Chain A
Amino acid sequence: MKKLALIVAILCGAILIYATSEFPEWGDPNSPASLHVSPHYIKYSVEETEVPNIVTSVLADYRGFDTMFETTVIFCAGLTCFLLLRIFNEQGEEEGVYYRHLPTGVVIYFKRDDVDIRDEDFELIDSKFVPYDLIIKTVSRVLIPFIQLYALYVIAHGDFSPGGGFQGGVILGASIILLAITFNLKTAIAKISEKTLGILSALGVFIYAGIGCLCLLLKGHFLDYGKLAEILPVNPIKARALGMLGVEIGVGIAVMAVMIIIYINIASEGKHHEGL
């Protein structure tokens, strides 16, 4: 089997390398990929949409349909993870919770699941041995707000600098995942509950499709942001930039929620009891 696979891989590679003799050279400005639509995007992006970051204008405006369904794919992936893995605790299957008393280091085990101690001296821990680590907790506590601030900047400033909904959403999701790793899965779920995440992931797709439908209601085409000028106090070209910003916010929300859903479901095997 392994030899067969090696032969297949080498043969495939040889054919592909043979095919590269027809390819344009690396960095050739006149390569076919750069001759059809891309000159139009580069030349007219600012004039048609007032967005200097061409990647954003192509992503959200020229190829808006594509991005909408990519967002839907991500939403579906989050939904699939939830449906495949989520296990709701049946009665009589309580696993108990562990708390550590910080000044003494004594670990207390409660047989019931619904124990909730909110005291600075007590810390919720996983059943596997977790040493108390002040450095990691302090650093992540300081870092997480800045990571989130940076994520919001990346989403909001995606029109003018590298960034956008996908990147910002992933950074925002990563900040919550960092919280879940450094503290506890339950701490992260207490900050942003499963129900909120489900609603947010759907809301992101809804914002995107909703802006598209709003353009339909204003007698334009689907996702034709120029028509938003009728309800926004700007000219149609600036309205395109604002429509893109709205769409990017929707994408960011959906991506953030789905990343967290995937993490918490996979890390806890669907129980939402303990993480990694």
Chain B
Amino acid sequence: MEGLLREIVGKYNYWLYIVLMMIGLYAMIAKNNLIKKLVGMNIFQTAIILFYISMGYKKGGTLPIIELPPHHHEIPPDAIDISKYINPLPHVLMLTAIVVSVATFGVALAIALKIYKEYNTLEEDEIRMRIRER
């Protein structure tokens, strides 16, 4: 029982992101509307971003900006306590990933707009029907 509780407390963040990710995956596969598919894709991306950020967290750590001593611009490397600062690498990766995801979402919307102009619908089965009719 104690082992299970420990497992839940230690890992529940990953489980939440997996649930979120699967919601996105389900929306991408099952939804008929292209915009809903895109929303599913965005949920999926958000889950991955949260997953990375939570991997970089250290208990008791603060944000990765080195506290300099007052009136100094330098601090010797040995004076820095690594466990005090959270891992900066996932933050860097996700920082760019967020902006790139916004930009790619813009491209996806542009393509959806083009599809709507061509077929007058965003429902996948109707688009397929209209392609077959041609």
Query: Residues on A close to B: CB < 8 A?
Result: 1-2, 4-6, 8-10, 12-13, 16-17, 20-21, 23, 25-29, 31, 33-34, 37-39, 41-47, 50, 52-55, 58-59, 63, 66-67, 70, 73-74, 77-78, 80-81, 84-85, 160-162, 164, 166-167, 169-170, 255, 258-259, 262-263, 265-266, 269
Hey, which chain B residues are within 8 Å of A52, CB to CB? 65-68
Chain B 55-74 per-residue mask, 1 if CB under 8 angstroms from chain A, else 0: 11111110111111000011
Q: How far is the CB of A226 from chain B (nearest CB, A)?
A: 16
How many B residues are at the interface, by size bracket?
35 or more
Most B-side CB within 10 Å, residue of A12, A37, A42, A85: A42
Nearest chain A CB to B41's CB is how many angstroms away? 14
User: Shortest CB–CB separation between residue A57 and chain B, in angstroms?
Assistant: 8
Determine the distance from Cα of A9 to Cα of B89 in the docked complex, in whole angstroms: 29
Shortest C-beta distance, A147 to chain B (Å), equals 18
In the complex, residue of chain A having the shortest beta-carbon distance to the beta carbon of B7 = A21
The secondary-structure label for the interface of chain B is helix
Question: Using a CB–CB distance below 8 Å, which chain B residues touch chain A?
Answer: 7, 10-15, 18-19, 21-23, 25-26, 29-30, 54-61, 63-68, 73-78, 80, 82-83, 85, 87-92, 95-96, 98-100, 102-104, 106-107, 109-111, 113-114, 117
Main SS of the interface on chain A?
helix
Q: Which residues of B contact A74 (CB under 8 A)?
A: 99-100, 103
CB contact between B80 and one of A6, A23, A43, A84 (< 8 Å): that residue? A43
Q: List 14 A-B contacts (CB under 8 A).
A: A4-B29, A16-B21, A20-B18, A29-B61, A33-B89, A38-B87, A41-B89, A42-B80, A47-B75, A50-B74, A55-B64, A80-B110, A81-B107, A169-B99
